[in-house]
Amino acid sequence: MLPGIGPRTLTALLECFDSPSDVLAASADALMRVAGVGPKLVDAIRSPNAQVDVEDLIAECQRLEIEIVPQAADGYPKRLLELCDAPPVLFMRGTFVKEDELAVAIVGTRHPTPYGRRQTQLLSAGLARAGVTVVSGLARGIDGIAHQAALDAGGRTIAVLGGGMGAIYPAEHGGLADDVTANGCLISENPPWAKPRAGMFPQRNRLISGLSLGVCVIEAADRSGALITARLASEQGRDCFALPGPVNSRMSRGTNQLIRDGVTLIQSVDDILESLGPLSQPVQVRDADDAPRQLHQAAELLLNEQECQVLDAIGAMATSIDEIIANTKLPAHRVLSTVSVLEMRRLVRRTGGQHLVRI
């Protein structure tokens, strides 16, 4: 919490010293040898209690029911650990569950057109109904619409804040923040008392993209902050999508430019799920009967019960058609037609005439 210590500086300090305690106990000369540490920061490290009251911070978090989650904790989102500047500590209110690893961010302008509003509602609700957690920034406009649509569809949503949770910004989204907490969580890297400043929002955006498999930009003007999120998504190796808009709409200039630059054009939820590709690690989801199953690709959310049954009978090693028929107990013609669907969705591939593997 010391001023001037961000994730990169903290990483540099911990690489030079064995532990945070050793950093606080280090001499001024030793601290000055660390890249990025100057006299002002040395003074802060050498007199930490004058900068921040840790006990007061913990008490305030307890009062507001905010959980302090360090990187080593089980509740720390695994996808954020992939970032080179992952926050050392997160402040979280609500619950982050394993299913939230299957997440897509929806971002865009604070001044959406009726077209942008409607498309945001359709995409966010569709993702939520498919079992995908919707991530956004609780801002006015597209962000707030995305959160509300996910909640209305009975899904989960995560809001990443630019400031602290002590005073929700914007203030009119206080009720929405409570609803998000009940069906997902609020996340911030800033302590509760931190007031949002302009520079915090680009920092916040890297967490929105970092938590997600992909980022969907709905409407964005030429200099929209949503374009920063799209750029960060690409740098982090996340998929990036953009919704096309009217060529004469100022709010579609940014999204149309993204598409011209090679970002994936999307028109529906199916476009998003089919484009995400294999997951780095399987995610556990619930099927229609509330039974757990392992998801290897987001596109599997589009499958019906029979397609799931056939897919689950195909392993990472070559599986013959006869084995699939025997394991599913389905007629041969149904298995063959279903396999064709799975091949078209790029969920399985043939290794020979009668053998398949799951991708």
Instruction: Classify residue 160: in a domain, yes or no.
Output: yes
118 & 261 share domain? yes
Tokens, residue 336: 């063959």
Instruction: Classify residue 212: in a domain, yes or no.
Output: yes
Instruction: Classify residue 64: in a domain, yes or no.
Output: no
pLDDT in tens, the chain (359 residues): 888 888 888 888 988 998 889 999 999 999 999 988 999 999 999 998 888 899 999 999 999 999 999 998 999 999 999 998 899 999 999 999 988 999 999 999 999 999 999 999 999 999 999 889 999 999 999 999 999 999 999 999 999 999 999 989 999 999 999 999 999 999 999 999 888 887 788 889 999 999 999 999 999 998 888 999 999 999 999 999 999 999 999 999 999 999 999 999 999 999 999 898 777 778 877 766 777 778 888 888 889 999 999 999 998 889 999 999 999 999 999 999 999 999 988 899 998 788 999 98
Instruction: Classify residue 175: in a domain, yes or no.
Output: yes
216 & 347 share domain? no
Structural domains of the chain, count? 3
102 & 46 share domain? no
Q: What is the greatest pairwise CA distance in the chain?
A: 76
Strand partners, 82: none
Q: Which amino acid is at 302?
A: L
Q: Where are the alpha helices (DSSP H) in 51-155?
A: 54-63, 114-129, 142-152
pLDDT at 167: 87
CATH code, 194: 3.40.50.450
Instruction: Classify residue 195: in a domain, yes or no.
Output: yes
Query: What range does the domain containing 17 cover?
Result: 1-51
Q: What are 6-21's pLDDT values in tens digits? A: 888 888 898 899 888 9
224 & 164 share domain? yes
Instruction: Classify residue 74: in a domain, yes or no.
Output: no
24 & 141 share domain? no
Q: Return the closest-CA partner of residue 245 out of 233, 259, 232, 234.
A: 259
pLDDT at 352: 79
b/e code 256-284 from CB counts within 10 Å (16+ = b): bebbeeebbbbeebeebbbbbeebeeebe
Instruction: Classify residue 281: in a domain, yes or no.
Output: no
Instruction: Please give the Cα distance from 205 to 166 (Å, whole number).
Output: 20
Instruction: Classify residue 63: in a domain, yes or no.
Output: no
326 & 262 share domain? no
pLDDT at 359: 85
Q: Are residues 37 and 5 in contact, defined by beta-carbon separation less than 8 angstroms?
A: no
Q: What are 200-244's pLDDT values in tens digits? A: 888 899 999 999 999 999 999 988 889 999 999 999 999 999 999
